[in-house]
Every structure is written in C-alpha cells, then in structure tokens.
Amino acid sequence: MQWLILEAIKLSHGSFGRQGQKLFNPVCMDLSDKNKLRRFVPLVAAILVAALAIVAFYEKGGLFSASRPQEISFFDEPVPSFVKRGKLTVLTRNAPTTYYEGRFGPQGFEYEMARAFAQYLGVPIEIRILDSVPAILMAMRQGQGDIAAAGIVRTAQREGIYSFGPGYLSVQQQVVARRNHQFPRTVEDLVGMNIMVLGDSVHHERLMAISDEFPELSWETAYDMSVEQLMEKVWRREIHATVADSNIVAINRRYYPELLVAFPLSASKQLAWVVRQGDDELMSALHAWFAGFEAKGELASLKEKYYGHAQVFDYVDIATFHRRIRNRLPLYRQHFETAARNHDLDWKLLAAMAYQESHWDTSAESPTGVRGVMMLTEDTATHLGIVDRLDPEQSIEGGARYFVELLERIPSTVERPQERIRFALAAYNVGMGHVWDARRLARELGRNPDSWDCIREVLPLLSQPDYYKDLPHGYARGTEPVLYVQRVMDYRDILEKRLALAASN
C-alpha cells in the first residue's frame, strides 16, 4: 500500500512539475525527507481510501448518472436511508385504486406512481400490504416504510402528525346509495337511514362534524372492512348508504352500476404520500421527481388510464345487443367461425366473449392498455405472435388460442365441458392465479374446488382481507369474474336463440 501511495505521489509530482511542487508545499511535501513522508502517508492513504470507497459505491449502487448529477450529493449530505437499505419500501393497501394483482401482473394507480419514483431513484421497490389507512399511518409512525402510497387524504389534522409529499389527485367525500332503494338527496335525508362508514377515517370525522348541526344523525363504524366492501353492502341493499372518496367511487361504479352518488359531503382535498419522518433527503427527491413526472404529462396519463374511463357499466343492454347482432356481427362472423373451427371451439362462445370484452369494437382500448375486439394485452399478443391487436382477424385468432391455453390448464378433475369453460372464462377475466386461489380457498372451506357453483360463491371472498391475505395472489375483484362468466354465457344463449329464430324464418 505504501508503495502504491508513493507511486501516486511521485506520479502527481512529476505531472505537475514546478507548479506541482508549489501545490504540495503547504503540506511540507518533500520526497527526499523520509520523516516528512511518513507523516504525510496517513493523510494520503485516508484520501485514497475515501476516494476508492466513493467510487466503489458509485459503481455498485448505480444511483447516479451523468444525466442526473444533481439528484443527491454524498459530498454534502449523508447517505439516504433508502439507499443504504438498497430499496424503497412502500406501504399500501390491496384495492383497485392502490395496488392489486391484475390479470397480467401488479397494477394500481398508487403502485405505478411508486414504481416510477423507485426507478427515478435507481433502487428496487418493496411493496408491503396493510389492511387499512389507519394501520398504514401507524406503521409509518413506527418507521416501517419509506413512503405510504395508499390514497391518503391530506388534512390539517394529519399534517400536524405526518410528513406529506406533494398532492397528486383531488378528491371529495361522496355519499353513495343505490338507485331504486332509499335514496338521500341532502344531509337531512340521512337522518334515520342505515349508514355505515370506516372507523378512524376522514369520513367518520366528517360525519362527526356534521352531527353538530344534525344531532339526530347516526351511523355505524366498521373497523374490519374496506370502503369497497361497504359499497358492496350498499349494492346488496344491506345498508342504505356509505361515504367514500370520489376516486374510489368512480372505479367501483363500473362493477356496481346501480350505485349512484347522492351528493358530496365535503370540499375537495388532495391525496398525497406520507414520507418517513425526518427523511429530508427522500422528501427532497420526491419533490424533484414529482415536478418532472407532472411536467412531462406522466401524471395526467396515469389519471386518464385509471380514472378517465370510469363510467357506469352497462350490464346487459338487450336492445343494444340485438341491434349489434344485426349491424356488427356480420362484419366479423367469418373470423369467429374460422378461429373456432381451428381450435375446436363454439364460435358463438367466442363471439359472446368478444362482445363482453369490446362490444365488437375493433378499436376498443381499456384504461389498462388491453386493445382490440378480444382485448388482448401487448404481452399476451407478443406471446401469441399477434402483430396487430386492432386487426379483427388477428385479435379473434389470438383470443381463441389464449382461451384454449387457459382451458388446457384447468385440472382434469373438472370433468364437465361446460364447467371447464366457465373456469377458463373466469381466468380470462381475472387471471389464472386468482382462479387457483379460489380453488385453494374452496378446499379450505370444505367446498368442492371442481364445481363452478362452489367457485362462484368463493371468488367474491377474494376481495375480503380475512380471506385473501394468506393467498398467494392476494386481493382480487372476485365478484367481477362471476358476473363476467354469467354475462358471456347469457350473450351466447341469446345469440344462439336469435340465430335459430332467424334460421326458422
């Protein structure tokens, strides 16, 4: 090591010539004086060790690049905690507006934002799922995460306790009720109604504030449910109304179209991430990243993806379906018949799937990026060798092949062909992983995992924390695949009867 240091000193001395000698004079640099050299060696060694350590960290972490030299400087600030750990730990909850396992992998508005932030930092992301916003906030106070990305409303009360990042979505609290049921128009109408809201929530706080003016107003609080479950209870007419944030209402009305917004219960407020207390480096990096994320239009694009198409879902508009059998189906019937013949399928089933997916609209595109008449993802299309998802012939052929792949993965213990079709349809909608979870849960509950009648009762349980928390694929919109299978089978039956009637005429 001393030889290395000496050589480095000699090299630098020779390189700088007389100017170099002047530069070294302040530290008594004289190579002919061994005693002075010995005094100088520790200083040089310390400098070289520090430099080597910085270079080694630089190359290992990959955090900095020539294009982003200004992000974090280790020369001025201590190493950020998340860099020391080598990851960004994100606390969130399993829900359609935050994080969930979709048909083709992790999805969710909050998840995609957090993933983009982690990529900006140059560290991997670690997702930790908790049951509720109160549980997430408590975990943040205990230092269990770097950020909480869980649709958390920034309020004055919370700002006194937690560190919030920039606001990214404006929401308001809304009273949600079911059409053709007891329906409130004003706060006064809520008096005497069966209302349930989440405990320890901003919704409960808001009702408490309103009760000063309406002392007869009463409600129940739920501590072991999600707001999505409360909305489902309204849809099932088990309660009259609940309160939810507008972004959650917008997403869930696609699944429960009979739910309506009765009226807003508060002014608009911002959703924001909670950042670990005292982590100034992370907060600074978050603000820098968010400014660019918003300026480049990526935030607006993400909002459009998840909320731009949040409309009331049309269950089975029979009149529209009959009309489209006349004016759209003839354009693509030959493609359905050819693909079905190639894969030994019922072409009317393929046509019913396509109608459920896209209403036979070849240019259809969902907020999550699936496209075409059979609504294939880009990854699935690539896997199937489909070049153009918007080409109806390619899309229908790809959809048929993908459906056959799903059919072949259904266990042989599911023997009846119609049962196998229903299982495969559910997988086409929600993903095979969640179908496996439903079968596993059915066994644990003493139900028959090979019976669709049992599975359709078990699938909705995948949206309840007590059931999905121990399953490999976690949360799923379990009611949706049940409705999907029923609608596809209904469309097929209607189409079959319509064609039979046309043939008889």
The DSSP call for residue 221 is E
Whole-number Å distance between alpha carbons of 284 and 299: 19
At 430, phi and psi to the nearest 5? -110, -10
Residues 6+ apart with CB under 8 A from 402: 374, 376, 380, 384, 428
| Rg (the chain; Cα; Å) | 30
Q: What sign for the dihedral angle of Cα 392, 396, 402, 406?
A: positive
Q: Which helix (H) or strand (E) holds 174?
A: strand 173-178
Residue tagged active-site, from 101, 112, 228, 357: 357
Whole-number Å distance between alpha carbons of 111 and 117: 10
Tell me if 203 sits within 8 A of 243, measured CB to CB: yes
Whole-number Å distance between alpha carbons of 424 and 485: 9
Tell me if 98 sits within 8 A of 111, measured CB to CB: yes
Whole-number Å distance between alpha carbons of 371 and 390: 7
Active site (annotated) includes residue 188: no
Q: Which amino acid is at 69?
A: P
Work out the burial of residue 183: count CB atoms within 10 Å of its CB; fewer than 13 is exposed, 13-18 middle, 19 or more buried.
Answer: middle
**Catalytic center residues:** 357
